Amino acid sequence: KSATITTTSKNNSSTVVKSIMIKIKETPTGWLRVRSEPSVDASESAKVNPGESYALVEEQPNWYKILYNDEQEGWVAAQYSEKVN
């Protein structure tokens, strides 16, 4: 298991898992939606591109919560992303 640390930023950010990144895989659309909640019905917060990597914040079945744009958090589908060190 990876060690975790708690960080605090302007928005009282949550726990960030050290040294585990989420890399975005190729998708049929050429980009992947970042969602506000771990659900396909949740609103879209942003779009990320294949090949990009983001810090893992939290994990739920079939979803990864990532840190993007320095201080924003959102969920991406595990189907189109993978853990890397």
pLDDT of residue 16: 58
Q: Residue 30: which residues within 8 A CB-CB, separation 6 or more? A: 49, 50
Contact at 8 Å (CB) between 46 and 24? Answer: no
The verdict on pTM exceeding 0.95 is: no
**Mean pLDDT for the chain overall:** 86
Dihedral pair phi/psi, residue 14, rounded to 5°: -90, -170
Is the model's pLDDT at 85 over the cut of 60? Answer: yes
CA distance 28 to 72: 25
Q: Does the pLDDT of residue 73 top 70, yes or no?
A: yes
Q: Give pLDDT tens digits for 30-54.
A: 999 999 999 999 999 999 999 999 9
